[in-house]
């Protein structure tokens, strides 16, 4: 953005940056402009994408473990959305969640009852998920890629179904949860640093109008997107050099 202000057009310089727990990336362009990029993705979306990356690169244990964490954090997200519907205060929700934060089973219980209260119907969890999950998490079992895909399908399908329900019935509440997340992340950035927001993850994104309906489909599409992004880096690098050359005031060309 700072380059754009100076040049009057984008610099096209590709910048690859890592991000961690806070889903914030600090970047610096070749002209020394520093900025922060904020992802609006929820934790479960980041973990799903991390699982996809691990699986594509052959780290099956890490992929299964990220999937399992994504599943847990998804219930936290759903609980947050349900609580928005009942207008609970942030502080009361935080204090309540603190008491269940270390035991995922308690969170699942919270989700089931909030679902019952919100929609008036029961939600039946897939009973096959805990089996492989427990083997990986508690016994260090190293799954095959096919086993990860099977676990991925089960977890993805659960997330897909509940997300569709939330998007159709609690869209405003969902937006509020996303805004809260952005606000929290924004407060972590030092005041003098310019910032920009991105929708974030590509594997699964609440910001997209439609999601791929299966894990396998999402994986294929994500792999393609990853290759396109990586493949465009050398091209963008050349383009940004060319743009810089033509942008010079006394350019001889």
- Map the footprint of Zn ion across residues 118-147, applying CB under 5 A: none
Compute the least distance from the CB of residue 243 to Zn ion, in Å: 12
Number of residues located near Zn ion, criterion CB under 5 A: 5
Contact between 3 and Zn ion (CB under 5 A)? yes
The secondary structure of residue 8, as a DSSP letter, is S
Cβ neighbours for 241, distance < 8 A, ≥ 6 positions apart = none
Contact between 37 and Zn ion (CB under 5 A)? no
Compute the least distance from the CB of residue 77 to Zn ion, in Å: 34
Compute the least distance from the CB of residue 11 to Zn ion, in Å: 6
Candidates 26-34, 58-66, 182-190, 233-241 — which segment interacts with Zn ion by CB under 5 A? 26-34
| Alpha-carbon gap, residue 151 to 204, rounded angstroms | 16
| Alpha-carbon gap, residue 2 to 12, rounded angstroms | 12
User: Strand locations in the chain, DSSP E?
Assistant: 24-28, 34-39, 195-198
Across the beta sheet with 24-28, the strand order is 24-28, 34-39, 195-198
Q: Which two tokens stand for residue 121?
A: 């119907």
| 3-state percent helix, strand, coil for the chain, nearest multiple of 5 | 60, 5, 30
**DSSP code per residue over 103-116:** -HHHHHHHHHHHHH
Which listed residue (15, 24, 27, 33) binds Zn ion by CB under 5 A? Answer: 33
Which listed residue (29, 112, 239, 243) binds Zn ion by CB under 5 A? Answer: 29
Compute the least distance from the CB of residue 30 to Zn ion, in Å: 7
Contact between 237 and Zn ion (CB under 5 A)? no
Task: Specify the residue, 187 or 192, whose C-beta has the smaller distance to Zn ion.
Answer: 192
Task: Specify the residue, 11 or 104, whose C-beta has the smaller distance to Zn ion.
Answer: 11
Q: Which two tokens stand for residue 171?
A: 């869209």
Task: Specify the residue, 33 or 85, whose C-beta has the smaller distance to Zn ion.
Answer: 33
Task: Specify the residue, 9 or 90, whose C-beta has the smaller distance to Zn ion.
Answer: 9
Residues of the shown chain interacting with Zn ion in the complex, contacts defined by CB under 5 A: 2-3, 29, 31, 33
């Amino acid at each position: 953005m700072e380059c754009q202000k100076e040049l009057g057009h984008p610099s096209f310089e590709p910048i690859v940056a890592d991000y961690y727990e806070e889903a914030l990336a600090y970047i610096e362009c070749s002209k020394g402009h520093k900025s922060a990029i904020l992802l609006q993705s929820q934790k479960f979306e980041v973990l799903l994408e991390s699982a996809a990356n691990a699986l594509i690169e052959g780290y099956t244990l890490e992929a299964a473990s990220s999937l399992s964490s994504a599943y847990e954090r998804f219930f936290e997200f759903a609980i947050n959305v349900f609580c928005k519907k009942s207008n609970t205060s942030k502080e009361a929700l935080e204090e309540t969640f603190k008491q269940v934060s270390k035991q995922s089973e308690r969170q699942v219980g919270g989700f089931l009852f909030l679902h019952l209260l919100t929609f008036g119907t029961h939600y039946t969890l897939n009973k096959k998920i805990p089996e492989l999950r427990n083997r990986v998490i508690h016994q260090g079992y190293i799954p095959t890629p096919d086993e990860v895909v099977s676990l991925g399908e089960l977890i993805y399908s659960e997330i897909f179904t509940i997300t569709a329900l939330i998007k159709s019935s609690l869209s405003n509440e969902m937006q509020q949860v996303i805004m809260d997340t952005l606000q929290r992340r924004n407060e972590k950035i030092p005041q003098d640093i310019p910032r920009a927001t991105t929708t974030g993850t590509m594997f699964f994104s609440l910001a997209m109008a439609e999601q791929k309906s299966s894990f396998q489909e999402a994986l294929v599409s994500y792999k393609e997107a990853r290759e396109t992004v990586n493949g465009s880096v050398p091209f963008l690098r050349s383009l940004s050099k060319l743009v810089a050359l033509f942008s010079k005031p006394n350019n001889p060309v």
